[in-house]
């Protein structure tokens, strides 16, 4: 498999080169030159396969000869070392729980896959790899945890000051070692702009082996397909596929779902459930992607005004919004509606939603037709947002032991203005 830049000004590269570079030299995101098609028998008999075999069949075409079968299977087994259960909540709505990994967020899957890929590739490099990532919440913790202590790597995580939860901040800034946490005076888009500027800095990249761990990196983006395949394996009514609702911020997760749909996943409709940061719903309504500052919400990991991965969704549908609208609905949910959804679902079913999952639940309800069933992706454990969840459910969120230990740790962030030169200096020091 070869990967080309969506800006089409850089040469095509291998999977290995795409992972190590993170972003193409022309600033574009890498995209596979072809999309593998899995046979109908794979989907019809998926219940007969174990999770590792499903993962291997999906991912093997994307890595080509850059891994042996033995190495890829080992990486995938380590990536899927925790459960991803589908939990029925009502007669019509089930939840895919993606928060059972080490940082209690869906991004553990992609981060674990990428860290193991990069660790394998770094053995052949003469310099340390510097992993640079901006986060609106959960990405930073997942990346920090997955790369902590990995030989040959330094990790730099930028996160917006005052806009991540206490648990999220400790998962980013309490590790130390090869993990460098930068607390930026600005929002997520300011963090992401600094990261993009570093990747566009040709002189810096001539001295620093710089790669990304955001979902712009194919090693973070592609394994997210596995959520949807393993959910389909568990889905009890194969003759009635669900409408799948995904909390959407930077659009990597739902982009992976639509990619797998192109590979044959028999799910006809997706919902990109957004909060007040509704650039994509506006695009589907008007054909124009608005440019404006992000808005702070209760579902902070989705507070993205300029979703990087949306260009991949367009590429999947030949840059034709009409084709995209046939399979994708996009909704918007306010903080008041998020709170009301947490409160109502807890009262009616006893199931506790975090704010991101509540946005996806409410978005699904906006589009679910009579007789249809839906699947909501739950991307974070409610304990990451204990105040709002406790306020709406009337009960404290039980705290897993891993979080109790984490909350005792001290923070070690560097404070950074939303300016490029201090970041550039740090990256140069780490080379």
Domains and CATH numbers, the chain: 83-104+220-393 (3.40.50.1100), 128-207+400-430 (3.40.50.1100)
Residue 236 confidence (pLDDT) above 90: yes
Confidence of residue 291 (pLDDT cuts 50, 70, 90): confident
**DSSP at 285:** H
For every residue of 99-161, DSSP letters joined together read --STTSBTHHHHHHHHHHHHHHHHTT-SS-EEEEEE-SSHHHHHHHHHHTT-TTEEEEEEEET
Quote the pLDDT of residue 214.
79
Residue 150 confidence (pLDDT) above 90: no
- pLDDT tens, residue by residue, 22-41: 889 998 999 999 999 999 99
Nearest one of 351, 352, 357, 358 to 336, comparing CA atoms: 358
Average of per-residue pLDDT across 120-128: 77
Task: Assign residue 160 a region (left: φ > 0; alpha: ψ between -120 and 50; beta: otherwise).
Answer: beta
Confidence of residue 61 (pLDDT cuts 50, 70, 90): very high
The CA distance from 128 to 111, in Å, is 18
Reading the block at residue 56, the tokens are: 């291997």
**Ordered strands of the 414-417 beta sheet:** 209-212, 129-134, 153-160, 179-185, 414-417
- Cα dihedral 143, 249, 94, 226 sign: negative
The CA distance from 73 to 389, in Å, is 38
Quote the pLDDT of residue 411.
87
- Cα dihedral 48, 50, 55, 61 sign: negative
Residue 431 confidence (pLDDT) above 90: no
Calculated CA dihedral for residues 133, 137, 141, 144, nearest 10 degrees: 10
Quote the pLDDT of residue 63.
95
Residue 182 confidence (pLDDT) above 80: yes
The lowest-confidence range among 194-198, 392-396, 406-410, 419-423 is 406-410
Average of per-residue pLDDT across 404-408: 83
Confidence of residue 293 (pLDDT cuts 50, 70, 90): confident
* The model scores a pTM over 0.85: yes
The CA distance from 218 to 39, in Å, is 23
């Amino acid at each position: 498999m070869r990967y080309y830049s969506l800006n089409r000004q850089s040469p095509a590269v291998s999977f290995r080169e795409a992972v190590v570079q993170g972003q193409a030299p022309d600033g574009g995101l890498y995209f596979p030159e072809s999309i593998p098609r899995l046979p109908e028998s794979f989907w019809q008999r998926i219940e007969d396969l174990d999770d590792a075999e499903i993962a291997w069949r999906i991912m093997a075409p994307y890595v080509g000869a850059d891994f042996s079968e033995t190495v890829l299977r080992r990486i995938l087994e380590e990536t899927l070392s925790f459960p991803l259960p589908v939990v029925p909540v009502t007669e019509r709505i089930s939840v895919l729980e993606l928060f059972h990994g080490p940082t209690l967020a869906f991004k553990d899957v992609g981060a674990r896959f990428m860290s193991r890929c990069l660790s394998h590739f770094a053995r052949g490099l003469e310099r340390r790899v510097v992993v640079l990532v901006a986060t609106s919440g959960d990405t930073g913790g997942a990346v920090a945890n997955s790369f902590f202590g990995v030989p040959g790597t330094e990790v730099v995580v930028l996160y917006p000051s005052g806009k991540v939860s206490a648990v999220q901040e400790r998962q980013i800034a309490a590790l130390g070692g090869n993990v460098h946490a930068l607390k930026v005076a600005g929002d997520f888009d300011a963090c992401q702009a600094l990261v993009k500027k570093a990747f566009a800095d040709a002189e810096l990249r001539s001295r620093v082996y710089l790669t990304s761990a955001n979902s712009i990196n194919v090693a973070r983006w592609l394994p997210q397909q596995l959520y949807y395949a393993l959910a389909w394996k568990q889905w009890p009514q194969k003759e009635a596929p669900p409408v799948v609702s995904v909390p959407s911020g930077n659009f990597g997760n739902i982009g992976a779902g639509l990619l797998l749909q192109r590979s044959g996943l028999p799910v006809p409709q997706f919902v990109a459930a957004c909060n007040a940061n509704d650039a994509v719903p506006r695009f589907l309504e008007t054909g124009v992607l608005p440019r404006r500052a992000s808005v702070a919400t209760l579902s902070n990991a989705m507070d993205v005004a300029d979703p990087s991965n949306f260009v991949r969704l367009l590429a999947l549908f030949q840059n034709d919004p009409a084709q995209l609208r046939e399979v994708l609905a996009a909704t918007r949910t306010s903080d008041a509606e998020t709170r009301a959804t947490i409160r109502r679902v807890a009262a009616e079913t006893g199931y506790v939603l975090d704010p991101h999952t509540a946005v996806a639940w409410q978005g699904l309800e906006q589009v679910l037709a009579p007789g249809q069933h839906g699947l909501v992706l739950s991307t974070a454990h409610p304990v990451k947002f204990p105040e709002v969840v406790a306020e709406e459910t009337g009960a404290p969120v039980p705290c897993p032991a891993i979080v109790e230990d984490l909350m005792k740790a001290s923070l070690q962030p560097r404070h950074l203005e939303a300016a490029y030169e201090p970041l550039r200096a740090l990256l140069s020091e780490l080379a």
